[in-house]
Every structure is written in structure tokens, then in C-alpha cells.
Amino acid sequence: MTTNSERIIIFDTTLRDGEQCPGATLNIDEKLTIAKQLARLGVDIIEAGFAVASPGDFEAVSKIAQTVGTEDGPVICSLARAIKNDIKAAADALQPALKARIHTFISTSDIHLKYQLKKTREEVLSIAEEMVAYSKSFMSDVEFSPMDAVRSDPEYLYQVLERVIAAGATTVNIPDTVGYTTPSEFGALIKGIKDNVPNIDKAIISVHGHNDLGLAVANFLEAVKNGARQLECTINGIGERAGNASLEELVMALHVRRQYFNPFLGRAVDSEPPLTNIDTKQIYKTSRLVSNLTGMLVQPNKAIVGTNAFAHESGIHQDGVLKNKLTYEIMDAQSIGLTENQIVLGKHSGRNAFRTRLKELGFELSDLELNKAFIRFKEVADKKKEISDWDLEALVNDEIQQAPDLFKLELVQVSCGSNANPTATVTLRNPQGEELIDAAIGTGPVDAVYKAINRVVNVPNNLIEFSVQSVTAGIDAIGEVTIRLKYEDKIYSGHSANTDIIVASAQAYVNALNRLYGALLNKNRQQITA
């Protein structure tokens, strides 16, 4: 890892902190899909998970380390508490990666020491030093985080950082764990660290922050001005509570306002090289992939990647943009990968042309995945005259993120109208291969479909979110449906894309129910084994 102070290192924690967001649980294949896209995006470090948290997390970190942790790929990182067992698990999971990092942490604020850790400052200081040295015995790249650093006594924080750097930490991360600080305060804290930690020149200063007050991105940019050179962020800003600092907002702020930030990195004001290694044209695609796989929708007015980010309704704005985009747009939509490109593929297109276009879009599918996606493509091509890249991405993402194939939707049929009771008939095949048919009446066609499916599957659940988005404009647009179900304080998401919104709704619901049903089966197996 370079310590070049003239560039900002992007540390992506979508697969660790982002996945801790309620309802955003990902399976191993989904994590790997996102990791591959993060590598294409150009992030410097992927925090792939918390290896000791579960066997599934360990396997995910290991699989990402093996597949994405290549010589020309990003550093693969695993989080670990300042406990030997955690650190050993992280080291073992990261073993396949050619470039790996252990990220260990312990709290340093007095409120955490008193109520959570029940330890003295001296005890925590000793643990931090010892566990960084232990991490160093496994690999040279070690990051240390003093959790709740923002609410820690600065003098004590300086002491902890000096000791962990002496023990071998190559990166020290300053977290705003509870999203409490403001830009000026955070900038002053980073400056204080640079001025008061004698050996700080031997480590990179990183920042991590939550968005509880909506200030995470602003805090990070102020930290950059005061010497921070690594930013820990997530795609779409997902994460615990109000989320994390948003990768796309940080990267584009540094990109669009490069002349402003150049001097803070020791560059000439008009220096042209980008401040990060991010391929900005991959931003929108990455945002959509993470949104689809996690089931966390992006709000329309979200900066950079929201559907309204480049839309203009005001007549004055429209007039200005038509004359010159720069009148009301500070960045080009194409700079984040938003294009209106239409592919020349239709119902007569062959498998080879289909595969070639998917590769150009950054998808690398197995033969089985390609076959399934090609069948879906042909079905849509029979219904639509033109198929956009966005349509293709929606179809492929839908195939990639399929839930366990426990219950399979065979047929859905709806009868509704202005003077009729919406009625739905569904046919599903259960895990034993039996065909089950049922019907129900609902307040609307989707409600009727869901009631019929519930009668067949018979798995208790609470539907907490149902959302529909159009992939492209037009009456024949593909509709994407995202479902979130809650059961015993856990949330399970489902997603589907189809030109028929009723079919997409049914498929998304079955996907979510399959995830829920699969979790119940695993829980029962574990109880029997125990």
C-alpha cells in the first residue's frame, strides 16, 4: 500500500459495516459479486467482513480473498476485535489474498471503557499495543481503530496512537462511531493527531464516520484538508443507523472540486491527475448493484446516484441546461456511468453477442448463469423492441441474486377491474417437488397474489416494505420490485425484474420467503445438531 500523501486511499466497507444495516444481509455469492464490482470500481481496500462473526462471514472473506485479492486487485481486509481469536480468524480467512490487511479495534472513550469494556485506560492501552503486535506477526499491513475516538480524551488518544504505531500499525483510523462530530471539530482532531503523535509520519491517517447528523461526508472532507489520507466509506452510504459516509459523494466531491482540494495534498491548484484511483464511470452501476442485492433502495434525491440527481423540472433550469449543461449541472452524468446507450440486440441475437455485450458491461457469468440470463433476455426481447444496457443489467442482476430455490413460482394469474374483487391464483412447487395451487382475494392484485402465496408457503412473516422502480422510461419498461419481510427481528429481502409488474412482485415475494424459509431450515438443523 502506497503512503503517497498526494492521493486519497478509498477503503470500502460496504461488505462489512454496510451489511450491518438492518435488512441488508448478503449471502456469500452476493458478497463476491459486489466485491468483483468494487475491484472494477477501483477501490484500494475492500473490508470483506468480520471473519470471526460466523462461519459464513469467514467463508465470504476467504472466498473474496481468493477471487478478488489478486496481484493487480485491491487489498482485502477483515475486521477483528483486539482479541487473539478474532485476529487469528482474520489472518486465516485472508490467507489466499496476495495483499491483505488485518483491521483491529478497541474502544478508547471513557464512556465505552466504563460501561462496555469495564477496563481502565492503562488496560486498554496495553491490549491495543499487544494485539497490534500480534496482528503484525501474521502480516505487515495492520490497521488500528480506537473506537469512539471522537468522544475520547485527545491526550489519551494521542498516547494510544503512538503506542500502536510503535507496535507496527501502518494505518490508524479515527472513527466517529456515533456520528456526533461536526466538520470543524473533526478537522481539529485530525490536526491535533498530526501535531501531537510523535511517530504519526510512520502511519496513514484514516477516517471512519456515521451519518447520524447528516455530516459524515462534510466531516471527511474537512479531515482530508487536515491530513487524513484514507477514507472509509460505503456504496450509497449504507450502514448501521443512518449509514456511513457515502463513497460516491466523497469521490465526486474530490473529483469536481479537485482544484480546491489539490493544495491540501501538496499539489498545484491546476493539477489534473485525479485525487483517487476510482473509475467514476463505474459508480452508477455499482450503486444499482448494491441497491438491488441488499434491497436498500436509493432515495430519488440522493446526491450523485439518485434518479433525480440529473433531472430538471423547473422551466428556468430546463432552459439553461438546453443552452449549456454547465448552467445547472456541475458534473456530466456520463462521468458516473449514466448513459442512454442502446445496444443492438433483439430477439434474433445470438448467445455470443449477448455474452460479449455482458462482458463489455463488466459481467463475468458462469455458463449456467449465462444460460439462465439468456433465456430471460429472449423472453424480454419478445416483448420489447429496444433493450437498453440498463435493462440488461436489471435482468442479469436478477439472475445473479436469486434466493435459494426452495419454493418455485410456476404460475401467477390475476383477475381485477374497477367493479371486481381482485383475485389471484398461484401455482408453486415446494422443496419436495410437489405442485401446490391456491387462490385468494385482496384489496388489489398484488395483495391478492401475496395472500395466495402465503396460503401455499405458510411461513409467518410481516411485510414491511414493497417498492417498485422502473428501469427505463416507456410503457414497456422493465419494473424492478424490492420486498422486505420481517420475522423475529430479522429482515429478509427479495428482488425481481420483469416487464409484468405483477409477475415481478410475485417473484420478489417468493425470493424473500425462500430466504426466510432457508434461514428457518438452517436454524432447525443447528438445533438438532446441538
CATH of the domain at 500: 3.30.160.270
User: Each residue's pLDDT tens digit in the chain (530 positions)?
Assistant: 334 568 999 999 999 999 887 767 788 888 999 999 999 999 999 999 999 998 989 999 999 999 999 999 999 999 999 999 999 999 999 999 999 999 999 999 999 999 999 999 999 999 999 999 999 999 999 999 999 999 999 999 999 999 999 999 999 999 999 999 999 999 999 999 999 999 999 999 999 999 999 999 999 999 999 999 999 999 999 999 999 999 999 999 999 999 999 999 999 999 999 999 999 999 998 998 898 788 788 888 899 988 788 765 555 555 564 566 666 567 888 888 876 544 556 666 778 878 887 776 667 777 888 888 888 788 777 777 667 776 777 777 766 666 667 899 999 999 998 888 999 999 999 888 899 999 999 999 999 999 999 999 988 899 988 888 776 666 677 888 888 888 887 778 888 888 889 999 999 999 889 888 888 887 776 666 55
Number of folded domains in the chain?
A: 4
Residues 386 and 430 in one domain: no
Residues 302 and 414 in one domain: no
Does residue 67 belong to any structural domain of this protein?
A: yes
CA dihedral 515, 517, 520, 524 (to 10 degrees): -130
Given a contact cutoff of 8 angstroms between Cβ atoms, the answer to whether 344 and 351 are in contact is no
Residues 460 and 419 in one domain: yes
Choose one of 400, 423, 439: the last residue of a domain: 400
Question: pLDDT value at position 484?
Answer: 83
Query: Which residues fall within 8 angstroms of residue 491, CB to CB, at 6 or more apart?
Result: 22, 23, 25, 464, 484, 485
Does residue 187 belong to any structural domain of this protein?
A: yes
CATH of the domain at 262: 3.20.20.70
Residues 396 and 412 in one domain: no
Residues 332 and 362 in one domain: no
Does residue 290 belong to any structural domain of this protein?
A: no
**DSSP letters along 243-267, please?**
-B-BHHHHHHHHHHTHHHHGGGGT-
Residues 220 and 363 in one domain: no
Does residue 346 belong to any structural domain of this protein?
A: no
Query: Which residues fall within 8 angstroms of residue 351, CB to CB, at 6 or more apart?
Result: 370, 374
Residues 502 and 465 in one domain: yes
Question: pLDDT value at position 491?
Answer: 78
Residues 365 and 485 in one domain: no
Does residue 368 belong to any structural domain of this protein?
A: yes
CA distance 386 to 425: 31
CATH of the domain at 310: 4.10.430
- pTM for the model stands at 0.78
Taking the CB of residue 196, how many other CB atoms lie within 10 A of it? Answer: 15
Residues 221 and 180 in one domain: yes
Backbone angles phi, psi at 342, to 5 degrees: -110, 125
Residues 150 and 234 in one domain: yes
Does residue 452 belong to any structural domain of this protein?
A: yes
Residues 161 and 122 in one domain: yes
- The whole domain housing 390 covers 351-400
Residue indicated by cell numbers 475486521? 79
Does residue 291 belong to any structural domain of this protein?
A: no
Distance, C-alpha 143 to centroid of its chain: 21
Residues 80 and 131 in one domain: yes
Please report how many Cα atoms fall inside a 13 Å half-sphere around the Cα of residue 314, on the Cβ side: 7
CA distance 126 to 128: 6
CA distance 144 to 98: 21
Does residue 450 belong to any structural domain of this protein?
A: yes
Please report how many Cα atoms fall inside a 13 Å half-sphere around the Cα of residue 243, on the Cβ side: 18
Question: pLDDT value at position 467?
Answer: 82
